[in-house]
Amino acid sequence: MPSPLRNGDLRSPAAVLRQIPFQSTVSEQKLRRLNILILILRFAAFCFSLAAAVFMASNSSRSHDSHSWLHFPTFRYVLAANSIVAVYSLFEICAAVWEILKSETLLPESVQLWFDFSHDQVFAYMLLSAEAVGTGEARRLRGGGACDASGGFCVQAYISVALGFSGFAFLALSGLLSGFRVACFVITGSRFHL
């Protein structure tokens, strides 16, 4: 069904003006809700990626063979990717809180929208690839029998990878919303069309 807004050119100017106050109140409420949803997703991505980074960084076996994440390039990649996503999410949380409080974006609107979308996409792909190779490495360690001597190391690596996958899921959802905002901006000239 076509939106009634598409027939705007058939309405009289007075009718258009009468609609504006009502629409803007409803729109503001929806806009606020969407901003809060984005904030929640960012916060979840931050928590999970930070937890994944901490779990991986503290993952050193205390037994005689002394496994450590430092000896595995893939686990170093997992730690780096999760740390980058945690820092980025923290910045985005600040930007989202600023937007909710001040009703305007931290950076100029178009810059902020394209920045959010491009970084969400790139970091989501980076985090997914890190978790994928991390899973491969953890499976290989278990298959090679390395987990028998130092079970704690393998379990902690698995937990870190699982937390990283959760962080990726929330980041990908944020990416969908920021993509929608960019498309709104390109099509209508406003970052929200609700």
Enumerate binding residues for a second copy (CB under 8 A): 1-3, 6, 73-74, 121, 125, 128-133, 135-137, 139-140, 172, 179-180, 183-184, 186-189, 193
* Alpha-carbon torsion (66, 70, 75, 79), positive or negative: positive
To a second copy, the closest distance from the beta carbon of 150 in angstroms equals 19
To a second copy, the closest distance from the beta carbon of 66 in angstroms equals 20
Q: In this complex, which beta carbon is closest to a second copy, that of residue 78 or of residue 95?
A: 78
Q: Using CA atoms, how far apart are residues 136 and 166, in angstroms rounded to an integer?
A: 17
Q: Using CA atoms, how far apart are residues 187 and 185, in angstroms rounded to an integer?
A: 6
Q: Using CA atoms, how far apart are residues 19 and 159, in angstroms rounded to an integer?
A: 53
Q: Using CA atoms, how far apart are residues 176 and 188, in angstroms rounded to an integer?
A: 18
Q: In this complex, which beta carbon is closest to a second copy, that of residue 63 or of residue 71?
A: 71
What is the rounded end-to-end Cα distance, in angstroms, of the chain?
16
To a second copy, the closest distance from the beta carbon of 160 in angstroms equals 16
Q: In this complex, which beta carbon is closest to a second copy, that of residue 11 or of residue 97?
A: 11
To a second copy, the closest distance from the beta carbon of 5 in angstroms equals 9
